Chain A
């Protein structure tokens, strides 16, 4: 299934490179094919690594990734579609990768190690703190690059994993409440309602008094500083959020991406314009068509049918991963696989959602589709590990 996705992805990427306009992306499908071969090798390697070994090296990998993130902040370079940020690590002028992608995987492993060793799901916020810290460190480091999209992915992974290890949903809501409060603070009304809801939830759930107070205060503080935070946001971040709310505010500049993306998608229709035939793509109207908005190219050329097929494949892939996580023989593997689910799910949701305007625009890639080596390798590694877990689960049953 992953192979099918990868094939379609490569074809779409090939098409995305075929424009009437001279661009630098005409030949990247070759490179991506190269990456894919490498990715297959990585997946095979990951398949061969025992989860025990993985668990053992996890702390080293995690701290290594964090170190790389710190290094990136110091000497990182911008590149490609996110030219304004420092998310690349370059050695001798050659960009070797985006440590953030590696950090995602490392964080999943670390979370699995931390949570998988517990018998009991965390019962209080205090017990959630280590997990939060594990995610928090790379989250902050990536956010500083600044790469909001990848930072959000960490949160997606965190919540997915916490859910998987049995943290009650209401506790997750409370954990997330300060963040939601931040968003709600745009309107006094919505924030007021949210505070009331949080208060009621606290009264109903009755956590420890200190924790309840902390959460409540956190909500209040977040609501208060939201405006100040908003002012501190870089203008491009403000614009992205604003044009998410209404792309027509500034159709030539910040709203351009989403409008053009929707035009490309919408003009694809039910059956699409045909492979290589997308006019919006061909004339380079679709922004970042080989990376962030590659799904728009797919939607324009393959139409709704193609979209449905690809989304179906993704849903199937994720469903399989969930099954693997369920059937895993040990907690660590299970959490790792479900962390991968959270990772891929967040990526797909955010990326596909943004092409159609359901999500704010953040530059995160679509797994197995978008051009880019780092994330592709990470995805392949994650899938390789998952297959290993599945294989172990099957072999543990078979003797019976």
Chain B
């Protein structure tokens, strides 16, 4: 049969039509699935395809002092970013504009890394572009595909180094932090608080970034801005009102002897509000804005005097004579002594304890003293015996109860714990079970030995002492956030007696030269033995003595060389209580540091000065 027979042809034509129809229907079904059933999914994808979101940085919250003076603010700045469809395209565009932006090879490498991390976000090239650069780029926008210029708030610290350690500073998020995703809303270029309140309250200050949508073509070039989709407004960070008094803080910074190292802290004992906190040497947080110059960074982080270290909270010192009040308070609260108690052995310039002789700072001796007088003259011999009477176990336990093994609780990051042994096991471990004697109690009683406290912790103790009921909230820096309250558990009259003794210190005792006219100040000096050089000087004081409204304390490293710790602190107190019109001190500055030292100082310091929060500080760009 021939194939060209109408019947055969008709049959095959039928088959062919069937096949054509079948294929048509199959294709139609396929399109139906994609276009009708899965349409919404593809529509979303198509939007995502063409729309790129650019974060609108939320301005960080303002940090003010207690009176509203601005300590940290955000001011307008411009950042320059680049969208790129591929790494090659990024490279070629960069090659084009690198001279204009003054980008070095390191910047280019960083840009490539950033691109690999987040290819769908603009790569940030400059964060702090000056206006003339921005306008120069705007002119060439057509030639630079994918260019993104956006307003990006910059941080500014009007008071610079004055409040650096309290306010802290911000820096760009690191690549490592981006990779871990531990930070909420992390994106390249995000400013993260690195130190001080900026770090402590980072979450509150940071706010929430908004989103801006830009239409891009297949090559990633920005085609149109605005109107393509609803923008998401940024949520600005919340402001923080600190307890600082910036005028007082400035006075502190100016009063602190230039070139010396140390810290000053001023607080309201009743509320725990910190009025001033200064650490010297300081640095200018404005240096960190827009990335630190690597050389500056190296200089800062390797400097011998560690400007980045907050010496009020991140450095430990032997508490020395100010610690005697702790011992006195512990003995009083246990009922072992009262303010008029005398010790069996009067001070003859030293105390023989078994085979060792423990000297008093006054080699001629103080004679027979009551507790109040012993505080006034800071008699070591009296406190050696008080320490023995209290006993090591009580000393360990009660000091722990008052929190001398815990941070002060101040709301600053990186505060370190004071060191104080918890039990005799510490000595067993350190010196071997037979390597030590109960003579350590003598050292501990006068604030030497295995004891190292921060200024913040000692201030917290003196705040308790200054309050009529012996209770005080932990120091804090942000308004309305008091921490927990600790108590000395002493009756009011004993507290008043201790304060009276401390007033005597300033009136007639070791700090007699630091009197301020018309002001009744109570305080305690101290000299922390320093095996590395001159001794460190302490002075912690409160005023007015009958109803203290302020506690101020200072630690000055190597103060043995003629600095004036007590007069400085008293000037600060006078300035706070009497304003700028405070009368001068009754005497010239003079070293008022008793040599109330321990026989065998244990080198504890500086164990913390070497510890710097290096990891938390971003790598220099």
Contact = CB atoms under 8 A, between A and B. Distances in A.
Interface of A is mostly: helix
Interface string B8-51: 11101101110011011011101110111011011101110110
B604 to A, nearest CB: 59
Given A119-B2, A121-B3, A353-B27, A322 B36 contact: no
B494 to A, nearest CB: 78
A79 interface: no
B42 A304 contact: no
Interface stretch (B105-113, B185-193, B216-224, B440-448): B216-224
Contact of A307 (B2, B17, B28): B28
B560 to A, nearest CB: 68
Given A265-B42, A334-B4, A326 B217 contact: no
B215 interface: yes
Chain B interface size band reads 35 or more
Contact of B34 (A164, A326, A341, A356): A356
Interface in B179-233: 215-219, 221, 223-224
Contact of B218 (A270, A285, A319, A322): A285
Interface string B516-530: 000000000000000
Interface string A302-316: 011001100110110
Given A264-B46, A315-B24, A322-B13, A166 B217 contact: no
A263 B24 contact: no
Nearest to B45: A263
A19 B218 CA distance: 11
Contacts of A166: 3, 8, 12
Contact of A266 (B3, B4, B43, B224): B43
Interface stretch (A44-52, A94-102, A145-153, A276-284): A276-284
B13 to A, nearest CB: 4
Given A20-B224, A304-B32, A266 B41 contact: yes
A31 interface: no
Contact of B42 (A267, A283, A331, A341): A267
Nearest to A164: B12
A217 interface: no
A358 B30 CA distance: 8
Chain A: number of interface residues, binned into ranges:
35 or more
A269 B215 CA distance: 21
A145 to B, nearest CB: 27
B219 A308 contact: no
Nearest to A256: B218
B2 A263 contact: no
A267 B39 contact: yes
Given A166-B3, A285-B50, A334 B30 contact: no
A326 B39 CA distance: 41
A12 to B, nearest CB: 15
B217 A21 contact: yes
B21 A315 contact: yes
A165 interface: yes
A217 B23 CA distance: 32
Contact of B36 (A121, A270, A331): A270
A116 B3 CA distance: 9
A20 B23 CA distance: 35
Nearest to A272: B35
B27 A266 contact: no
A299 interface: yes
B217 A283 contact: yes
Contact of A325 (B13, B26, B216): B13
A303 B35 contact: yes
B508 to A, nearest CB: 83
Contact of A345 (B23, B47, B49, B221): B23
Interface string B406-429: 000000000000000000000000
Given A322-B16, A325-B13, A334-B4, A307 B31 contact: yes
Interface in A328-363: 331, 334, 338, 341, 345, 349, 352-353, 356, 358
B34 A322 contact: no
Contact of B50 (A269, A279, A322, A353): A279
A30 interface: no
Interface string A239-272: 0000000000000000000001011111111100
Contact of A21 (B21, B49, B221): B221
Interface of B: 1-4, 6, 8-10, 12-13, 15-17, 20-21, 23-24, 26-28, 30-32, 34-36, 38-39, 41-43, 45-47, 49-50, 215-219, 221, 223-224
Given A263-B49, A280-B49, A319-B20, 15 more contacts: A19-B217, A120-B1, A166-B12, A267-B46, A267-B47, A270-B39, A285-B49, A303-B35, A307-B28, A308-B31, A315-B24, A323-B13, A326-B13, A331-B3, A358-B27
Q: Which 8 A-B pairs have the closest CB atoms?
A: A266-B42, A166-B3, A267-B46, A326-B13, A283-B217, A304-B35, A315-B24, A269-B39
21 contacts: A21-B218, A21-B219, A260-B218, A266-B35, A267-B39, A267-B46, A267-B47, A268-B39, A269-B43, A283-B215, A283-B223, A285-B49, A285-B217, A304-B32, A311-B27, A319-B21, A322-B13, A341-B20, A349-B27, A356-B27, A358-B27
